[in-house]
Amino acid sequence: MKYVEYVAKNRIVNDELLNKILDYNNILNLDLLNKSTYPYDYEYISEFIKKIDMHKNISIIGDYDCDGICATSIMYLFLKRLGKEVYYIIGNRMIDGYGMNENLINQAINNKSSLIITVDNGINAKEEVDYAKSKNIDVIVTDHHLSSGSFPDCLCFNPHYEDNISFKDVCGAFVAFSLVHAYFRFKNSIDKTFIKNLYELSALATIADVMPLYDINRVIVNNLVKSINYKKIENKGIKLLCEYFGFLKVQAISAIDISYTIIPVINASGRLDDASIVVDLFTGNESTTLIDEIIKINEKRKSLTNDAYSNIRIDSNENIQICYLDDVSEGLLGILSGKILNQTKKPTFVFTKSNDLVKGSGRSLENFDLHQAISNMDITYNSFGGHKRAVGISFSNMDDFYIFKKEVQNFVVPEAIFYYFTYNYNSFYDVYKTISSLEPLGEGIKIPYFLVSGEIKDIKVINGKHTSFRMEINKKMEKFIIFNSVLDSGKYNILFEIKKTNFGMQGQVYKIEKDIEF
């Protein structure tokens, strides 16, 4: 990891700090922050409308993560609204794996469905679509993942492969929402309350799938955050989750708050149990008992993750971190991979054995396209898919896994550069106001880290493992906190971000070095 002071190259606005933050996030045109165009026009979705109107019994095949859950809920509520006989089918992560397969198609056959709609999956399901068609079932694929081969032979909607769509970095739930919105728009039958319900689900999924928060993504997420802060949430399931986390008692909830609280709870059900429980919540089962069950699953997920992480051994000499664990739920692989990535700043995979397959989840840094790198490999795998920074892959046997493990070390990964801002401002509060003016913050609009150097004072150890302290900056004493580290007195270089907490405005320390230059 290389630490470099960030210097803005472009003049976008006159405010020095705001300009620096915009340039840091590569936002060179403020218009990017205010677009709200929907991708599909009538001519493009006319075949979608025709197929929806034609079929009476429809099955939805969705993914088991938050994006897939929200996309499934959107499509289910839409089809129910039209009076269709509709079923949703979400595969079990451990039994079915990701995406469409024969088992799920057979469930649609048992439902007597004449149409299958995939949401948040399907772009790589060429053989599976052929199987469904051989059983006289029509298929519509709606997805946002990258293709690793030829497209299925059916009606497909995926912004990455559609020339008429300029902004492509949307989640699967938003693809589903856009089709539904276009359907009602061209039928002249938009019910604003009903659409807001679906809109909120697409925004929740946008946060969960770490989509860049500009263009239409920024608009929908900002509207969800406002709905929560003004206590005007339409989806009852989202409202119950907000109530559980106390969001409806305050007026300063951010997209980052949602990503750290609600999103992990939603994802936990698909990681360890049955994701259908959350679809039930989002589509009409307004039960606090259901909330308690979902929360309980998440608590189990946290405990299992901590146990598994404590058993991981990292090889600092590896170019790509490859970890194999014998006894771990495959639903935890992505979380563990992300934790190792954060620790090592290297692209990471975590694998385990599941149902006679060796399954793995990979995470990468912004500067390395993991999906593209694996797509270019000459290896044998059972399944593969994902995004630039997050992929899933499985192998039929350990031999193929070992070949992969050896070959990935040949990847040329650029050294990760960590950019910081030198802190020379008057107060944490003034800086925080400038940063928060760009809410919602998240992927694509990130909070910068600042660097200061000086003597730390007023040291207090919290619960034996955290440290709060003060440092004089520009003749003003500012408060800091560092978690999971006990400090002694001395001069330090501190990288931190500024946060508003229950204890006032504070610098939350990211990295600290004593008597060492970055």
Looking at the structure, tell me whether residues 390 and 463 fall in a common domain: no
Confidence of residue 515 (pLDDT cuts 50, 70, 90): low
End residue of a domain, out of 219, 249, 264: 219
Give the model's pLDDT for residue 171. Answer: 96
Pick from 39-48, 212-221, 446-455: least confident:
39-48
From the centroid of its chain, how far is CA 425?
33
Look up the pTM and report it: 0.88
Tell me if 456 is assigned to some domain. Answer: yes
Length of the chain: 518
Confidence of residue 231 (pLDDT cuts 50, 70, 90): very high
Q: Is the pLDDT of residue 191 over 90?
A: yes
**Higher per-residue pLDDT: 499 or 85:** 85
* First vs last C-alpha separation in the chain: 10
Amino acid (1-letter code) at residue 12: I
Looking at the structure, tell me whether residues 387 and 425 fall in a common domain: no
Looking at the structure, tell me whether residues 363 and 444 fall in a common domain: no
Q: Which H or E run includes 365?
A: none
Give the model's pLDDT for residue 508. Answer: 92
Give the model's pLDDT for residue 38. Answer: 64
Q: Which residues pair with 177 in a beta bridge?
A: none
Q: Is the pLDDT of residue 210 over 70?
A: yes
Looking at the structure, tell me whether residues 71 and 197 fall in a common domain: yes
The Cα angle at residue 322 between residues 321 and 323, in degrees rounded to 5: 115
End residue of a domain, out of 410, 429, 462: 410
Give the model's pLDDT for residue 250. Answer: 81
Looking at the structure, tell me whether residues 365 and 507 fall in a common domain: no
Q: How many domains does the chain have?
A: 3
Looking at the structure, tell me whether residues 394 and 430 fall in a common domain: no
**CA separation for the pair 386, 395 (Å, rounded):** 16
pLDDT in tens, 459-482: 999 999 999 999 999 889 999 999
Q: Is the pLDDT of residue 41 over 90?
A: no
Looking at the structure, tell me whether residues 323 and 214 fall in a common domain: no
Percent composition of the chain: helix, strand, coil (DSSP 3-state, to 5): 40, 20, 35
Give the model's pLDDT for residue 226. Answer: 95
Q: Give the range of the structural domain holding residue 347, as residue numbers without chain letter.
A: 311-410
Q: Is the pLDDT of residue 352 over 90?
A: yes
Confidence of residue 39 (pLDDT cuts 50, 70, 90): low
**CA separation for the pair 467, 207 (Å, rounded):** 31
Instruction: Read off the CATH number of the domain in which 167 is found.
Output: 3.90.1640.30
Looking at the structure, tell me whether residues 60 and 164 fall in a common domain: yes
Q: Is the pLDDT of residue 517 over 80?
A: no
Looking at the structure, tell me whether residues 353 and 451 fall in a common domain: no
125-145: burial string, b at 16+ Cβ within 10 Å, e else: bbebbebbbeeebbbbbbbbb
The residue assigned the tokens 């024969």 is: 102
Give the model's pLDDT for residue 246. Answer: 93
Give the model's pLDDT for residue 518. Answer: 56
Looking at the structure, tell me whether residues 207 and 98 fall in a common domain: yes
